[in-house]
Structure 1
Amino acid sequence: MEEPHRIELARHRASPALDGVVAGMVGLSERATGAVRRRQPAGTVVPLVLSFGDALAIDALADGVGAGREYRSFAAGLSTGCADTRFARGQDCVQVYLTPLGVRRIMGVPGREVARAVLHAGDVVTELGDTLSDRLHAATGWEERFEVVESLLLRRAAAQGEPPSWLTWMWDQIRLSGGRARIADLVTATGWSHGHVARTFREEIGLTPKEVAGVVRFERAAADLGVLPQAEIAVRHGYADQSHLARDVRRYAGETPGELVAARRPTPSTALGGF
């Protein structure tokens, strides 16, 4: 008799020293009797997947490069489209969800170099490569794995400088407003020129302010799908009407609102469980 599909999930609350850098961290062990395919919508965190098991295939990317390959440890930068993934029978990894401003602090490169791409983690940071995978595989359990990963994250974050305060403020305003803040007003409030803000934001975050705001709004609206009527969701999140909402869901998730709800796929939010 075949073993049923099994998922083991362990959550870890990151050190306060990583606030604003790491949104959360989970350990994942999954087993299935055959290939598992998933479509991951666009989101506002950058998954840093540190594998100690089999590879994960990235079959397609709606907005980015790196598809058609298999990865063990990898980072998936911010984008405005979905990703289709697949693994054969199992996966074992620690998933670190970096904030957009946490990319440089941990990976040592600006968000622009990671955005719209899936990259082998070890190609960007040698410490995130095979040696780390071996340590995670040899660990006796999730607690030890989290300790290994967190010590590395703390060391790397401490070695990088803080982003400009206005950039942190601007990202927070976009996030806290659910993507509905007026970008022109935010730019004016920084006290810097539009050109300087636009260049710096895109360099560090990886997307333009307008693009990021769109992803934030979609992510908030998607969380309400299946909970509230779509017409109410459209009003709540500032869409012109229900058709506008449906177009945005198609753009960022690659499917209709009904298909997205029916799929019931895990997301960073559900994985973190309110952490």
Structure 2
Amino acid sequence: MEADEYVTVAPHPALRRYVRRLQGYREFSATPLRRLQAPVGSCALILGFGGPLRLHGPAGPAAPRAFLAGMQTAAVHTEFRGHQHGVQVDLTPLGVFVLLGRPTAELTGAVPALDELDDPGLAALPDRLAAEPDWPARFAHVEAFLAGRLLADTARAPDPEVTWAWRALVRRAGLVGIAELAAETGWSRRHLLDRFRAQVGLAPKTAARVLRFERAAGLVVGGGPFGAPGPRHDLATVAVECGYADQAHLTREFRALAGVTPSAYRCAFVQAMPVADS
């Protein structure tokens, strides 16, 4: 039996405005392995060429092999038994907007299989990756595909104002007021809300909430984005640093967005977290 394998790489610099990371994975579990996937500020493109991955979330149960998860505001549980093998690409919501050339809001809360997206090139990508000999070749193939979509002269670019507002929210982990965003873009709050929601998938206030939660979750489990090592903080400190009114407010947000308390989230994360190479 081959050992589980996780290989994580940073995307090519030209792709980093739209791609957060790439990870190759190969794993096996003789018994059902279930993981909690809480909302984050990115969309997971799963290019699986192993067995199906069972999904349980607000969109209902599904068992795709390859799929694209839109922006989420509630937890999704994944479960598999047997072999899992593939590449995960974590895209910014604006990356999804450019990749598909249509409003990201259409995918909010959804996890469609790739063959449901009316995109033959994207749907064929998992099988093409399976034919590659190793991880470097697969990553190169994925990046070439993404560059052809995301960096093409014909790509549908997001509004510069939406791009600025999204980056401001990411940079400040959601701790920026919507009135400030609107003032900086020169748009009315209503116009910003409409354009932002269409291209990011969430309204600015909701996106700020998810980004604030993502930072808090990283501090609770003792790591940064995607499980990068870091110090674990006590819950009262997390609440203060992330702008929550108090620890009770933090706990309410964890229950609302992850479905569990911060302590339960920490336990679930530690038990399910793979060790990734870089």
Is the structural similarity TM-score above 0.5? yes
**Residues 28 and 81 in structure 2, CA contact (< 8 A), matched pair in contact too:** no
Q: Mapping of 1:1-275 within 5 angstroms?
A: 6-58=3-55, 60-62=56-58, 65=59, 67-124=60-117, 125-129=119-123, 131-157=124-150, 158=152, 159-226=154-221, 227-263=232-268, 264=270
Amino acid at match of 2:181: L
Amino acid at match of 2:236: A
Amino acid at match of 1:258: S
CA apart distance, 1:271: 5.6
Amino acid at match of 1:128: L
CA apart distance, 1:7: 2.5
Q: Distance in 1 between matches of 2:272 and 2:149?
A: 29
Inter-CA distance 272–128: structure 2 relative to 1 (3 Å threshold): farther
Q: Distance in 2 between matches of 1:266 and 1:259?
A: 12
**Residues 105 and 202 in structure 2, CA contact (< 8 A), matched pair in contact too:** yes
Higher mean displacement: 228-237 or 257-266: 257-266
Amino acid at match of 2:209: G
CA apart distance, 1:32: 1.2
RMSD (Å) for aligned C-alpha atoms: 1.9
Aligned length: 264
Inter-CA distance 191–232: structure 2 relative to 1 (3 Å threshold): same
Q: Extract unaligned runs of 5+ from structure 1.
A: none
**Residues 101 and 156 in structure 2, CA contact (< 8 A), matched pair in contact too:** no
SS class of match (2:63): strand
Q: Distance in 2 between matches of 1:161 and 1:17?
A: 17
Q: Extract unaligned runs of 5+ from structure 2.
A: 222-231
Q: Distance in 2 between matches of 1:79 and 1:267?
A: 20
**Residues 104 and 160 in structure 1, CA contact (< 8 A), matched pair in contact too:** no
